[in-house]
Chain A
Amino acid sequence: MAEYIITTEKGKWEVICGLEIHCQIISKSKIFSGASTEFGDDVNENVSFVDAGMPGMLPTLNEECVHQAVKTGLGLNAVINKYSQFSRKNYFYADLPQGYQITQFEYPIVGEGAIDVDLSDGTSKTIRIERMHIEQDAAKSIHDMSPTKSFIDLNRAGVGLMEIVTKPDFRSPEEAGAFLKKLRSIVRYLGTCDGNMDEGSMRCDASISVRPLGSDELRPRAEVKNVNSVKFVMQAIEYEAKRQVELYEKGETIEQQTRQFDSVNGVTKFMRKKEFSDDYRYFPEPDLPPLILTDEFINKVKSELVELPDAKKARFVKDLGLTTYDATVICENKETADFFEKAAKGHDAKKVANWLMGDFFAMLNEKKKELKDSPVTAENLGALVELITTNVINGKTAKDVFAIMAETGENPEKIVEEKGLKQVTDTGAIEKLIDDLLATAADNVAAYRGGKVGLFGWFVGQVMKQSQGKANPQVVNELLKKKLG
């Protein structure tokens, strides 16, 4: 493990951090009502009487959300609790129409789990999951439309959330960042959450404390709320840990507190003391019976699970011969992994990986295009690699062909055919080019034979030029060596 120790003149400190992540469940309708979850519709459009907390309205559990939660639980290698229960978390706020949030408290749907994260020094670490429960999201408060009024958009009220709570297993900002990326990758693979932190469909709270290195005490922690990017979570941990160390070293104490992250200045700011926090008066939700899952249901969800990033990565390394690094990068995103697999099918997988991570991504970046809108299809990328491995074209020509593919979307065979770019491997033709060259460049031939072996590259270049780049460089090399003696 890459150690992350805060070293000062006075001593060495260790960071202790745990994360709570809220993931919006991908589902057609809200978790306790039939209203749509469509993002970006007009304000207060996707609102049922239940969502608006109208008198006499009752929640009914959306089975699709349960399905998604179980799927996610399985993706976290976690225990699926066959008995779980909903509770009410009572507090008043304008964006909470019922005056309580329906959540799970004592009996969450998912219990302990674990996922492995890869770190930059090549090691990996297991992060333990404490639990995951499902609950409803609040509405959205809009405070910047009027100087005196706040506005409420109920579209988000009642959208299903999964709250994932980790054990305090993080010892560095890097670990937390790697975990969030991994979690995002898993939920995206599963199709249970879109993982877009900037849009708020995945939100993170970090609990941070520090302690002298080597000690096993637990000091009061600061909870940094609603951080909305992986980078900011890492920054928040780094800043907050340093802040705490400074205070301790000044002889001050730290009280348990809630803070917020200021992403403009990269600092955390005090919000409230924990001891004044609300008493949520949790109690079992009497409008919903306990949620009982059968083995049959859980097994059905299990049977629908897709291959997750870790398994895919291992397979790519073992069966396709990719390096661990390449496999990790390719598998982080399911679409990329799927694209790669399609492109590599029947071709040299390692070469396909190189092309994908090199020229292909560079092309997408340059064109500012998403993978799904790529002008170069997976099949065509594979075909291009095939043309190289079968010596139909050489690497340099391939780059030109790829550039044409990126512009036209044409398949590489056709381009090579039409433009006459096929590599010349006919030794007779190449020999003739060499003979012509050696005859006209007697000076250089003499110099080379006199010991200026560096001139060899010049000879190769000239022959390639004469062949308009189509000569097989390997054949050129061999014949030149023979003829120059």
Chain B
Amino acid sequence: MSELVELTVSESLKKLRNKEISAVELTQAYINKMQDNAKYNAYVTLNEEKALEQAKEADKRYQNGTNRPLEGIALGIKDLFCTKGLRTTACSHIIDNFIPQYESTVTQNLLDDGAVFLGKLNLDEFAMGGSNETSYFGPVVNPWSKETKLVAGGSSGGSAAAVAAKMCAAATGTDTGGSIREPAAFCGVTGIKPTYGRCSRYGIIAFASSLDQAGPICKDVADCALLLNSMAGYDAKDSTSSKVEVPDFSAFLGKDIKGLKVGIPNEYRIDGMNEEIVTYWDKAAEILKNAGAEIVSISLPHTKYALPTYYVIAPAEASSNLSRYDGVRYGNRVDGNGLDELYTNSRTSGFGKEVKRRILIGTYVLSAGYYDAYYLKAQKVRQLIKNDFDKAFEKCDVILTPTSPIEPFAIGDKKMLENPINMYLNDVFTVSVNLAGLPAMSLPIGLSKNGLPLGMQLIGKPFDEGTVFKTAYQLERGANFVRM
């Protein structure tokens, strides 16, 4: 039965439709794996009983022919998506007892397509982090770890680890500055952050509203297409969701990329980058070239401002978005003498260090006297970064970069913890994509000499996930990465 968890979503669907396997046995196989691999700390809330019920329902539907696109596929859900009746915590103490009475649009879409939910996945507290170490429930352990326990990346560390360790067929993630792509790269799995507006943000606990976007983390590119087909779509409940039609992403898989122009940004060859990663980058370009693509050199001159811009805008929005966690209506409440003390006590004990740091940064950059110098300026630079991409896309159809400048590092790494800037630097290749609202995918390209997975990123034009998919499919085939 254990080989069932090796199947991709597309393979599983085929077997389910052919009635070679049942949804219940498939779900049970994943539940067994979740128990075997509990040491990775990928799940924070389990939904096993309900999952088996859902699987039973799925089997009925396969029997009577009313099966839906993802019928019986067992998923893990990042604990940032509100799930009706199932505890949703954002991995923060401040709402660690919160049970939503509503379902996020994305998870509702998945449920409507027949998916089974195994449980809720670990993440950095409120998605603020790049290593999953800020989670109130402790860090996720990268399944690729050898002697030393390594980080799974963040913030969707639980999602990436669970997919890598076969604790679910696929998972949902969210990406504000790289939170799908970086953990996908660290765990040797594939994840896509679609164009801003593709997936509804309704019911996803907000970190930075203008940057947050949901997407899937899967075993391969084809699974990402299947999942995104279900997750994406206009939603009247999210005013920033887009009415642009959602194509069938699976239709792009295997399409020819002859003549496709792949851009390599000059500015991404930064100092101190892991040499192996540079080598793999060249290799990836070579694979695409062999598949018929043309490699072009492009310039994204404002790249160096992307991190500071991101670390002004994201905390600014976060400081406001997290104001609602005040202990008054739900969540952690520590009474005090009067309202101000109630706030102070509830928030002081409820939020972790990194979240507090970002609330402080955000509050500061929005303050009278600093707004123009920080927030307003960052918005202007954000526009310049967008313009950079617009210009680059006049020369190319898709952009190829590494996902992260480094390989997975040890949990509790001193250098990272001593100075948060070192941690922030890991986002250098991913944040500008969020600032510009573009779609981007990370997929594994190979292993480092330490035997750890490394990822490549493909960035597309707005609402052109199709090109990302067809390029990624070719790159995946050429890289021939062996999953864990």
Residues of chain A whose beta carbon lies under 8 Å from any beta carbon of chain B: 49, 52-61, 88, 90, 92-94, 97-100, 150, 152, 279, 281-283, 286-289
Q: Which listed residue (B204, B210, B323, B343) contacts A56, Cβ 8 A?
A: B204
Number of A-B contacts (CB under 8 A): 98
Q: Indicate with 1 or 0, residue by residue over B342-360, a CB within 8 angstroms of chain A CB atoms.
A: 0100000000000000000
Q: Does B397 contact A (CB under 8 A)?
A: no
Question: CB within 8 A of B363: which of A49, A52, A97, A281?
Answer: A281
Chain A residue with Cβ nearest B379: A284
A60 touches B203 (CB 8 A): no
* Given A54-B100, A56-B104, A60-B236, also A100-B320 (CB < 8 A): yes
A56 lies within 8 A of B203 (CB): yes
Chain A residues lying within 8 Å of B320, measured Cβ to Cβ, are 88, 90, 99-100, 281, 283
Is the Cβ of A289 less than 8 Å from the Cβ of B90?
Answer: no
Residues of B within 8 A of A (CB): 81-82, 88, 90, 95, 98, 100-102, 104, 201-206, 208-210, 236-240, 316-317, 319-320, 322-326, 328-330, 339, 343, 363, 366-368, 371, 375
Q: Are B201 and A58 in contact (CB under 8 A)?
A: yes
Task: Point out the residues of chain B lying under 8 angstroms from A92, CB to CB.
Answer: 323, 326, 343
Contacting pair A59 B204 (CB below 8 A): no
- Chain A facing B: main interface SS: loop
Please give me the residue from chain A that is nearest to B363 by CB atom.
A281
Q: What is the CA–CA distance of A214 and B208 in the complex, to the nearest angstrom?
A: 53
Known: A56-B82, A56-B204, A94-B339. A281 touches B367 (CB 8 A): yes
* Inter-chain pairs besides A54-B324, A279-B368, A286-B240, 17 sampled, C-beta below 8 Å: A53-B324, A53-B329, A54-B330, A56-B82, A56-B104, A92-B323, A93-B339, A97-B328, A98-B323, A98-B324, A100-B320, A100-B323, A281-B320, A281-B366, A283-B320, A287-B239, A288-B240
Interface class of chain B by DSSP? loop
* Closest-CB distance, B103 to chain A (whole angstroms): 10
Are A55's CB and B205's CB within 8 A?
A: yes
> What residues of B have a CB within 8 angstroms of the CB of A279 in the complex?
367-368
20 contacting pairs across A/B (C-beta < 8 A): A52-B329, A53-B324, A54-B324, A55-B82, A55-B205, A56-B82, A56-B104, A56-B205, A90-B320, A90-B366, A97-B324, A98-B323, A100-B320, A281-B320, A281-B371, A282-B366, A283-B366, A286-B208, A286-B210, A287-B239
CA distance A59 to B100 in the complex (A): 17
Assess whether B239 is in contact with A59, with CB atoms less than 8 Å apart: yes
The listed residue (A60, A93, A98, A282) touching B237 by CB distance below 8 A is: A60
B51–chain A nearest beta-carbon distance, Å: 22
Chain B contacts for A94, CB-based, 8 A: 326, 328, 339
With A55-B88, A56-B204 already in contact, the answer to whether A61 and B101 are too (CB < 8 A) is no
Q: Which residues of A contact B366 (CB under 8 A)?
A: 90, 281-283
What A residues does B81 contact at CB under 8 A? 56
A98 to B317, CA, bound (A): 13
Cβ-defined contact, B323 with A287, below 8 A: no
CA A54 – CA B100 in complex, angstroms?
Answer: 9
On whether the beta carbons of A61 and B239 are closer than 8 Å, the reply is: yes
Distance between Cα atoms of A283 and B313 in the complex (Å): 11
- In the complex, chain A residues whose CB is within 8 Å of the CB of B208: 286
The answer to whether A56 touches B95, judged by C-beta atoms less than 8 angstroms apart, is: no
Note all chain B residues with C-beta closer than 8 A to A57: 202-203
A94 to B209: give the CA distance in the assembly, Å: 23
Determine if B204 and A283 form an interchain contact, defined as CB atoms under 8 angstroms apart: no
Cα A282 to Cα B324 with chains together (Å)? 16
B329 and A56 contact, CB distance less than 8 A: no
Contacts of A60 in B (CB 8 A): 236-239
Q: Which residues of B contact A56 (CB under 8 A)?
A: 81-82, 100, 104, 201-206
CB distance from B236 to the nearest CB of A (A): 7
Q: How far is the CA of A59 from the CA of B240 in the complex (A)?
A: 10
Within the assembled complex, what's the spacing in Å between the Cα atoms of A107 and B103? 34
When distances are taken between beta carbons in the complex, the residues of chain B under 8 Å from A150 are 339
B342 nearest in chain A by CB position? A94
Separation in Å of the A42 CB from the closest CB of chain B?
Answer: 18
CA A60 to CA B368, docked complex, whole Å: 28
A186 to chain B minimum Cβ distance, whole angstroms, is 31
B167 → A minimal CB distance (Å):
24
Q: Judging by beta carbons under 8 Å apart, are B240 and A55 in contact?
A: no
Distance A97 CA – B330 CA, assembled complex (angstroms)? 11
Nearest chain A CB to B332 CB, angstrom units: 13
Report A-chain residues with C-beta under 8 Å of the C-beta of B375: 283
Are B239's CB and A58's CB within 8 A?
A: yes
In angstroms, how far is the closest chain A Cβ from the Cβ of B445? 34
B319 proximity list for chain A (CB < 8 A): 90, 281
Contact present for B104 and A287 (CB under 8 Å): no
Most buried by A among B88, B98, B238, B320: B320
Nearest A residue to B364, CB-CB: A281
Are B371 and A283 within 8 A (Cβ)?
Answer: yes
In the assembled complex, which residues on chain A have CB atoms less than 8 Å from the CB atom of B317? 283, 286
Are A97 and B204 interface neighbours, CB within 8 A? no
Question: What's the nearest-Cβ distance from chain B to residue A424, in Å?
Answer: 74
State how many angstroms separate the Cβ of A5 from the closest Cβ of chain B: 38
Q: What residues of B have a CB within 8 angstroms of the CB of A281 in the complex?
A: 319-320, 363, 366-368, 371
Q: How far is the CB of A123 from chain B (nearest CB, A)?
A: 42
Q: Which residues of A contact B343 (CB under 8 A)?
A: 92
Min CB distance B121 to A, Å, is 16
Chain A residue, CB-CB nearest to B94: A55
Q: Sort A-B residue pairs by CB-CB distance and give the 5 closest, nearest first.
A: A99-B323, A286-B209, A281-B366, A286-B210, A53-B324
Q: Considering residues A52, A55, A287, which has the most beta carbons from chain B within 10 angstroms of its beta carbon?
A: A55
Given contact pairs A98-B323, A283-B375, A152 touches B328 in the complex (Cβ within 8 A): yes
Complex interface: chain B residues within 8 A of A61 (CB): 239
CA A93 to CA B101, docked complex, whole Å: 24
Q: Determine the residue in chain B with the shortest Cβ distance to A288.
A: B239
Q: Does B205 contact A283, Cβ atoms closer than 8 Å?
A: no
For A59, the closest partner residue in chain B by CB is B239
A53→B326 CA distance, assembly (Å): 10
Residues from chain A with a CB closer than 8 A to the CB of B100 are 54-56
Partner of A99, one of B101, B201, B326: B326
B101 touches A49 (CB 8 A): yes
**Complex Cα–Cα for A97 and B328 (A):** 8
Q: Which A residues are CB-close (under 8 A) to B326?
A: 92, 94, 99
A289 and B98 within 8 A (CB):
no
Cα(A12)–Cα(B318), bound, Å: 53
CA distance A283 to B88 in the complex (A): 28
Residue in chain A with minimal CB distance to B80: A56
Task: Report Cα–Cα, A206/B351, bound state, in Å.
Answer: 40
A485 to B320, CA, bound (A): 95
Closest beta carbon of chain A to B265's beta carbon, Å: 27
B325 CB to closest chain A CB (Å) equals: 8
Q: Which residue of chain A has its CB nearest to the CB of B88?
A: A55
Task: Choose among A52, A88, A289 the residue that contacts B239 (Cβ–Cβ < 8 A).
Answer: A289
A289 to B239, CA, bound (A): 7
Selected contact of B324 from candidates A99, A283, A286, A289, CB within 8 Å? A99
Complex CA distance for A90 and B90, rounded to whole angstroms: 22
The answer to whether A55 touches B368 (Cβ under 8 A) is no
